[in-house]
Amino acid sequence: MESIEKIKSTYSRIAEEAQQESNKIQQAIYHTGSLRLLLFVAGIAGIIYFREESWTILAGIALVPLLPFILLIKYHNNLFRRKDYQEKRAEVNRQELAALDYDTSCFDAGEEFVDPAHLYAYDLDVFGTHSLFQYVNRTCTEPGKRLLANWLGQHLEKKEDILIAAEDQAAKLKELEGCEIYSIEQEKGVYTVSIDTEDHTFMIKVSGSADAEEWDRFLSKD
């Protein structure tokens, strides 16, 4: 079971490693760019110096720096792609680290989906700032965002579907019977209950007004 602090430590470590790797790649980009410039200058200087020679010799002189120059262009572009990947990697981990501290401002809140007339979404803050949508949203495309909004905004209407969903939830909760409650953490009125099973670790977040000791007794934590 990983505690919240260990998860935060992992996010911080990955973000720091990605940033360090990005800095190394940036140095390689600078050196490669300088080498490309030197090859270009050398090619021009060679052509000027041997300008009185035949076109065959001039072409040979031009090809000598041109071939490595072209290879460096390909290598240079690859460095930029690697740097972009590491920057995104660092950014994603910093965002998830902030989300663990309930700062989800970097994620789309789905403001366009706020509907005061909706059966439950407006009252339960499903969409908007500090909403459920903003907390779970990791979509990066417009179709993906709208699909997630549809999932959160459409409730079950048929009795058969509701019963099936209830049975599924009951089955999942039954799996937690007899499992160990690993930890209970409280922050800003939200309790994070961590439960260990043989194969998985479940984290349940609930709001409450009692303190952690009351939750310990209620959940029969040893």
Cβ(109)–Cβ(133) below 8 Å: yes
Would you say 14 and 93 are in contact if contact means Cβ atoms under 8 Å apart?
Answer: yes
Here the tokens at position 219 are 């959940």
Neighbour count for residue 143 (Cβ, 10 Å): 8
Per-residue pLDDT of the chain (222 residues; tens, 9 = 90+): 457 888 889 999 999 999 999 999 999 999 999 999 998 888 888 878 777 778 787 778 778 888 888 999 999 999 999 999 999 999 999 999 999 888 999 999 999 999 888 888 888 899 999 899 999 999 989 999 999 999 898 876 676 666 666 666 666 666 666 666 666 676 665 667 777 666 666 666 665 555 555 555 555 444
Backbone region of residue 128 per phi and psi (left: phi > 0; alpha: psi in -120 to 50; beta: other values):
left
Residue-by-residue DSSP string for 9-21 = HHHHHHHHHHHHH
Strand ordering across the sheet containing 190-196: 180-187, 190-196, 201-207
